[in-house]
Amino acid sequence: MAKVRILPDRVANQIAAGEVIERPAAVVKELVENALDAGATRIEVEFRHGGRSLMRIEDNGSGMTRDDALLALERHATSKIAEAADLDRLHTFGFRGEALPSIASVSRFELQTRVTDSDVGTEILINGGKFVHVRDCGRPVGTRMEVTHLFNSVPARRKFLKTDATEAAHIVHCVRLYALASPQVAFTLIEDGRVIFRSPECSTLAERVTEIFGQQIAESLIAIDSVEPGLKLSGLIGRPGVGRATRHEMIVFVNGRPVDSRTLNYALIESYHESLPKGRYPLAFVFFECDPAAVDVNVHPAKREVRFRSEPQVRSFVIRSVLQRLREVGAPVVPVVEAQAIRPGAEATLPSGLAPLVVPAPVPRFFAATSPAPIRAALVVPVAITVPQSPVASELSNRDARPEISMTSWRFIGLAHGSYALFETSAGLVLLDRRAAHERIWFDRLVAQFASGAVTSQRLLLPIPLELDPIAAALLIDRTKFLGSHGFEIGEFGRNFFRIEAVPTWMEPADAEPFVRDVLGALRDGRLPENNLALAREELARIAAAKAIRLPAAPAEVALRALVAELFATRTPLTSPSGRPTFIELNHGELARRFQK
């Protein structure tokens, strides 16, 4: 039986590093936080090869004496707290005392620091957790930390790092978060010797957002400032109707700390339920402030998550504040289903293999409660048809078998609310969801195109500009070839700036930018896997199906006949690509039960 023993400090530090230092961006985060806690007004961050070979963080903060610098490299040594009660009154980013020894244990770590009342600074060099030297050095007041050869002492961890472009994107995103958190601090970010951004001290958050995220995003934001006893919400939120496919641009700060808070995120999403379609997320750069004793930041080793002592109170305050601000700007109510359309004449096109049908006498198109029009003709819709199936991915072929539905005729009655077509059948009544039916038809059509490689594109007379955050830009660069094979031509036009120069023929140019953003959101969420082309094409077709359709307000009867016929020619006519039913049927038994017959 193995004996119980105390682990050496070096091993303990490497274990702690596994919790705190997940990737190069985590190193930058911890060291930038230390610089801000030291009162720095100027911070410079430099990295090379995605942070693998070099990360340097230099500031003009208060610095450290030699004794403090040596003590800071010991586990659980910190100047931020002294007792457990201090956790209830935290005003600093760091407090755990684990970052520096953890970083030094898995890299070559050099620290240079100097305080105001000293003529010389202190230089400490540690390699893989082992002290190399401690000596005097010349430097200005402040601290300089240099981390090289990250994870060289634990090569297994190094294998899990992503590409340099991906790791660099995470570092850039991290620095931008803390630049947003502290607009009064000047930030400089350098990658591989090239300045990514240099932001001087800013007087307002709006200026910092403009410098970091660009004018395009800044113009779509409005200011918010709400105060209640013990609670405050300030910052910038997106205008009504401006949304994203993912939550990556909902950035929340709690007492100045960038965090991932489910309570605040869901409060923001709920606040926009009348201003954004379902499935879209608002833009937000908001600062929530409360009593430090009312929030627990000691939940996660990396301090990414927080918990509130009264989450219902926080949630209701945020919802009230955002709703009030949206009403002040006169937010129009957006319908739950996002307004999209289908190309003119698309509904009137009969599927291939069907003979033209004789159009009967006109029928009423809308219900009129006061003077219902009599039904004068029956609409016969052929459902049991044989249409050559388009080649689609083998996975879809195996999984989606078209059900056998035996119907002889449907009689069209009219439209309800412009979205639902009502038919009388021999079995009862059928309500057809036009949008869901179109999505199913377009999904099958696009999957067939993607699988055959027959995706035609149209060049744009005026290219569409596209400005992205660093992570989204890195993802787009990695998947440009994939998008190019599906009808898109996107060229890089500067750092994190692109131009959409061609789109597939089925897409309206106005839909190109939101569609690309939705695809990038799916990439960030892992819904377009690189190692499974069939699944990636299926997800791309699912996103595209929602963008390809245009619904005429009052379709002709022949268009609805063609819609039903083409729907039942698909492999899975019962549901849309998102799993919603395309139609519901109320049989005679259900109708009798409802009317208590």
**For 490-537, what is each residue's pLDDT tens digit?**
998 877 789 999 998 888 888 888 888 888 888 877 788 877 888 888
Residue 363 has a pLDDT of 34
Closest CA to 313 of 336, 331, 288: 288
Pick the range with the lowest mean pLDDT from 12-26, 61-75, 190-204, 251-265. Answer: 12-26
Q: 98 or 421: whose pLDDT is higher?
A: 421
- Side chain identity at 545, as an amino acid letter? A
What's the confidence (pLDDT) of residue 347? 42
In sequence order, the β-bridge partners of residue 515 are none
d(C-alpha 576, C-alpha 559), whole Å: 19
563 pLDDT more than 50: yes
pLDDT of 223 > 90? The answer is yes
- 196 confidence band (pLDDT: 50, 70, 90): confident
The residue extents of the domains of the chain are 9-202, 220-328, 340-353+362-367+374-597
- In eight-state DSSP terms, residue 243 is E
Q: How far is CA 198 from CA 28, 207, 212, in A?
A: 17, 13, 9
Model pLDDT for residues 153-177, shown as the tens digit of each residue: 777 778 788 888 888 888 988 998 9
**Span 220-328: which CATH code?**
3.30.230.10
Domains 9-202 and 220-328 equal at CATH topology level: no
- CATH architecture of the domain with range 9-202: 2-Layer Sandwich (3.30)
Instruction: Please give the Cα distance from 233 to 253 (Å, whole number).
Output: 10
Output the pTM of the full model. 0.65
Q: What is the 3-state secondary structure (H, E, C) of 86-108?
A: HHHHCCCCCCCCCHHHHHHHCCE
- Give domain 340-353+362-367+374-597's CATH architecture: 2-Layer Sandwich (3.30)
Give dist(CA 570, CA 308) in Å, integer.
50
* Beta carbons within 8 Å of 201's beta carbon, 6+ residues apart: 41, 183, 184, 185, 186
